[in-house]
Structure 1
């Protein structure tokens, strides 16, 4: 029985080593993906702003002076630059270790980056790169932070364009927030019409006479990950690579859980025999 447990331990050690290799591959893939995504976001933000100003509210845009237009365009470029920097900041290099509670786990020798920067409070999440469950959690957190960044830049862009006088001033803040939130709720969808724009029909009530309220159609920036990836061949390719790595991780994760179950059974059987007496 001791030999069986030792064999299972060797199998687990081998699986964990393979998971560490997958973790490094996954991090490298995400680093490249987020860099490409940052470039794509800047491009798509400018394109969406162009459509909003020229097709959504051309009269309002024409009312701006040349200097005002240039200031708006520069502010949009700056916003896209900041978004790209935030995406790159999602993944950091820092040494990670194993769960201290498991004394049988060997020391991790890799220095895989696994930090996640939360854009709201800058807290980080550190994963054990030999544990597939923690690695999946790391990946899911990274995707969530990415969506939050797209949501934030969509909202900031809409506020910026509204302050410039292109978007109607009468649009309340909750409407702009709702437009940005739609980006995360249906991020994988590709919508008809100009990319990364949201068309809404809302009811705006007259402040003095509520009976004069009516339906108003508005257009707002709504950066969607699915549409951004669809428009960029390199980004789409890198997303496919990430999916391929995750398939490998899921397979190893099943083996990892299976071997831990086998070890628990073998140890329980050994404990039974050790305590049994006639």
Structure 2
């Protein structure tokens, strides 16, 4: 029985080495993916802003002076640049070589330097980041279950960043007079929520544009309400990937790595189960005695 446990331990050690190798490969794949995603996000943000200014609300854009248009465009560019930096900073790798058990860890952090962040983003995005920072998530990379949780956590952070950037972009456009001023910020947030929950009538439109119709009640005449068409920026990960082959290729690589991890994870759990059974059987025999 002791030999069986030793054999299982050796097999587990081999699996852990393979999982560690997969973890490092996944880390590198995500680093490349996030760098490409950041660049694609900047482009898609500019394209979405262009569409709103020229197709969605052209009259409002034409009312702006040349200087106001340039300031608007600069704010959008800065927002895209900062968003790309936040995406890259969300993935941090470190190896704890001084740990007594020589455990390697991957850490995700959303603690970023707000230095040159545009005021539109720093006013609320940095607040949401700093209020919860440092948001770190460390994981032992030889454990496939923890590694899968790390990957899911990173995906959640990416989606959060896209939602926040979309919201800040809409505020920039509204402050510039592009989006209707009659739509207060809570309505913009509700529009995005309605789109994600499917509780509003969605209309076809270009990528990363939220085009829907909402029923908004008149605050002064509570019995009256009207249908209002709203077009706002709504960056979507799937649409960004679809529009950029580099990002799509990196996502494909990540899926392949996850497939390998899932396979190793199943084998790892099976071996852990075998070890538990073998140890329990040995413990039973060690404590058993005849009356």
Scaled by the length of structure 2, what TM-score is found? Answer: 0.86
1:141 aligns with 2:153: yes
Q: Give the C-alpha shift of residue 201 in structure 1.
A: 1.1
1:183-221 CA-partner distances (Å, limit 9, x unpaired):
7669xxxx9421100112123333433445321111000
Shift of the 78–180 alpha-carbon distance from structure 1 to 2, 3 Å rule, reads farther
Which structure: greater strand fraction?
A: 2
What pairs up with 1:147-162 in 2 under 5 angstroms? 147-162=159-174
Question: Does the 8 Å contact 1:116/1:141 carry over to 2?
Answer: no
What pairs up with 1:160-179 in 2 under 5 angstroms? 160-179=172-191
1:209-235 CA-partner distances (Å, limit 9, x unpaired):
344532111100000000000000010
CA distance in 2, matches of 1:88, 1:160: 23
- Choose the corresponding residue for 2:108, options 112, 115, 125: 115
* Aligned Cα root-mean-square deviation (Å): 2.1
Secondary structure at 1:130 match in 2: coil
Aligned residue in 2 for 1:88:
88
1:245-273 CA-partner distances (Å, limit 9, x unpaired):
00000011111111111111111111111
Aligned residue in 1 for 2:34:
34
Question: Does the 8 Å contact 2:192/2:210 carry over to 1?
Answer: no
Could you tell me which runs of 5 or more consecutive residues in structure 2 were left unpaired when the two chains were aligned.
Answer: 112-128
Scaled by the length of structure 1, what TM-score is found? Answer: 0.90
1:57-104 CA-partner distances (Å, limit 9, x unpaired):
00011111111111000000000011001000111132358x99xxxx
- Alignment length (residue pairs): 266
Aligned residue in 1 for 2:137:
125
Secondary structure at 2:93 match in 1: coil
Question: Does the 8 Å contact 2:205/2:211 carry over to 1?
Answer: no
Aligned residue in 1 for 2:49:
49
CA distance in 1, matches of 2:155, 2:276: 34
Could you tell me which runs of 5 or more consecutive residues in structure 1 were left unpaired when the two chains were aligned.
Answer: 101-105
- Choose the corresponding residue for 2:248, options 218, 228, 236: 236
CA distance in 1, matches of 2:204, 2:255: 26
CA distance in 2, matches of 1:126, 1:28: 17
Aligned residue in 2 for 1:218:
230
Question: Does the 8 Å contact 1:183/1:223 carry over to 2?
Answer: no
